[in-house]
Structure 1
Amino acid sequence: MAATRRLRRTALPYLLVLPAVVLFLLFVLVPGGYALVLSFQARKVSGGLLGSSTTQVFAGLDNYRAVLADTELWSGIGRMVLVGVIVIPATVGLALLFALLLDVPRVRLAKVTRLAIFLPYAVPGVIATLMWGFLYLPATSPIGGDHVDFFSSVGVFFSVANISVWGAVGFNMIVLCTALRSVPTEVHEAARIDGCTELGMALRIKIPLLRPAIAMCALFTVLGSLQLFNEPNTLKPLSNAISSTWVPLMKIYDDAFVDSDLNHAAATSVLFTAAALLVSWVASRFVQSRAAS
């Protein structure tokens, strides 16, 4: 009986983890491995009197060479970076500002305000984009659509970035608010006894102590910017400034499901995944260094 109980205690953690492992294998590793195989292949069409047939043949690195020479992909990367330049500082900056304001002792309705700021994060990205899309349209916009072209070649970057910021600020604010809760109350009391104002406490005490959490929020926002797809893809029917290859993920989707070039799309996916992992590794190392300092 004792051996059976020890076996159950030993096996229980593995049984609890098993569903997540199975889902990871089925929806991440297996599709990723299949994409890797496709990226080294090419379609070969052979025909005869009875019709034509398509087979997959080994193509080596030809698909990767074609991806690296794809000017549309590089243009999409440039547009993704421009949106990220707007989204990352705006998201982290606003989340930090809201967290600091809600941490002031005299603030009223802090819980209600915190919930109101967090709620946009719970709205699905496609629904949020559709809502903002109608707000941007001149015929339905109550925010100056007749005077401001939200879908111009320049304005569309801010329009897309605004939707991303609106949806992500609440989550990052909760992370920072949680980090502020871990600051000992004795630190705040000592600072107030010394005559430090709330602004001084925020600049000299709270923000320095929040550096690891701020770096983590920046990492989350960078990863979210790399996955930019829903916002421009949903706004595409409303704006001539957004093409079907506006960002890299839209380019991959277009290659795979519109042009039916699965091999080129697979090679692009592999390279983009490798680049995203590299960015994540560099950003995580930065987070660790900030947390240790």
Structure 2
Amino acid sequence: MASPRTTRRTTTSGIRRSRVGWQFTGPFLAVFALVFLAPIAYSLYLSVFRTQLVGGTRFVGLDNYTRALTDPQFWSALGRVTLFLAVQVPIMLFLALLVALAIDSGRLYGASFFRISVFLPYAVPAVVAALMWGFMYGTRFGLVGNLNKALGLSVPDPLSPDLILASIGNIVTWEFVGYNMLILYSALRVVNPALYEAAAIDGAGQLRIITAIKLPALRGPLLIATIFSIIGSFHLFTEPSILHTLAPNSITTYFTPNFYAYSLSFAGQQFNYAATVAIVMGVITMAVAYLVQLRAMRKAD
């Protein structure tokens, strides 16, 4: 049986370890609460009030949420980013997968340079990328306009209402293929080389190695890349907001949910309803990401 002195010493040691742990995690938790939890709490607070010219600010409960769920402009924006997600994300991840497999094959000449070249667009800020591609898309001053004049062509306007979503998808794909490629390539680098040697001894070709060894090893990384891409698609904002000045007839103020919330807040001074739209969009994003993860886990089981 332990003596009282031993018990006190053990308790004191545990308290010291606990204090040391809080000293390491305390700064992070403070910053996390300040820049993440506090804005969410403030947005929730704003969403249950309404500010009017007559009557001032008053508590309205869930009226703002009812308005958001019946707002045709919000649903139009949500449908647009859902279509963007359904088309752009598979294309981007497929290209990232092809690039990662090509680099990992060991048969690509200049693989290091190619890897850096593919990843380099991710280092370009989204604002700069949107401006760069926006001026390239221009029919009066950009690359498309120069091609039309020099070659006598009639290239469709990438900033037209019919093509603007595809043009934004091209920008986003150009930006994030390298990022997703790096995730997939990193996962391929940790595969045990003995598996490749055993497959080669059994007479397996490259296609069989890819389908039997590499692709199963990429299930987890592909899930992570998919979830990140879903979150990014639902939060699409920078590219439409930059291109809005170049194509105001193609990009409306409710082009995406985030752009809609931004316009409500800074152009319409509807801070309470903007906070509501942002919260509803956040909940939808979390729900979709969770369902995708749950479905992937069930398939794995």
Give the TM-score of the pair, scaled to structure 1. Answer: 0.89
1:156-235 superposed matches below 5 A: 156-235=164-243
Give me the whole-angstrom Cα distance separating, in 2, the residues matched to 1:12 and 1:243.
53
Q: Is 1:40–1:60's contact at 8 Å kept on the other side of the alignment? A: yes
Change in CA separation of 1:16 and 1:112 when aligned onto 2, cut-off 3 Å = farther
Percent sequence identity over matched residues? 34
Matched positions, count: 285
Question: Segments of 4+ in structure 1 off by > 4 A?
Answer: 1-9, 142-145
Q: Is 1:121–1:170's contact at 8 Å kept on the other side of the alignment? A: yes
Shift of 1:280: 2.2
Are positions 1:270 and 2:279 aligned together? yes
* Mean CA deviation greater in 199-208 or 75-84: 199-208
* Mean CA deviation greater in 246-255 or 116-125: 116-125
The match for 1:72 is 73
Shift of 1:144: 7.5
Shift of 1:170: 1.0
Give me the whole-angstrom Cα distance separating, in 1, the residues matched to 2:205 and 2:72.
54
The match for 1:244 is 253
* Mean CA deviation greater in 70-79 or 278-287: 278-287
Q: Is 2:50–2:272's contact at 8 Å kept on the other side of the alignment? A: yes
Q: Is 1:86–1:158's contact at 8 Å kept on the other side of the alignment? A: no
Structure 2: give runs of 5+ residues left out of the alignment: 1-8, 149-154
Give me the whole-angstrom Cα distance separating, in 2, the residues matched to 1:144 and 1:99.
35
Give me the whole-angstrom Cα distance separating, in 1, the residues matched to 2:254 and 2:80.
10
Give me the whole-angstrom Cα distance separating, in 1, the residues matched to 2:88 and 2:147.
22
Shift of 1:132: 0.9
Give the TM-score of the pair, scaled to structure 2. Answer: 0.87
The match for 2:6 is none
Shift of 1:13: 3.1
In structure 1, give the amino acid aligned to 2:98: L
Structure 1: give runs of 5+ residues left out of the alignment: 47-53
Change in CA separation of 1:7 and 1:166 when aligned onto 2, cut-off 3 Å = same
Give me the whole-angstrom Cα distance separating, in 1, the residues matched to 2:292 and 2:206.
31
- TM-align CA RMSD: 2.2
Give me the whole-angstrom Cα distance separating, in 2, the residues matched to 1:35 and 1:280.
21
1:1-293 superposed matches below 5 A: 9-46=17-54, 55-138=56-139, 139-141=141-143, 146=148, 147-239=155-247, 240-290=249-299, 292-293=300-301
Shift of 1:262: 1.2
In structure 1, give the amino acid aligned to 2:216: P
Q: Describe the SS at the equivalent of 1:43.
A: strand
Give me the whole-angstrom Cα distance separating, in 2, the residues matched to 1:29 and 1:245.
27
Give me the whole-angstrom Cα distance separating, in 1, the residues matched to 2:177 and 2:234.
17
* Mean CA deviation greater in 110-119 or 88-97: 110-119
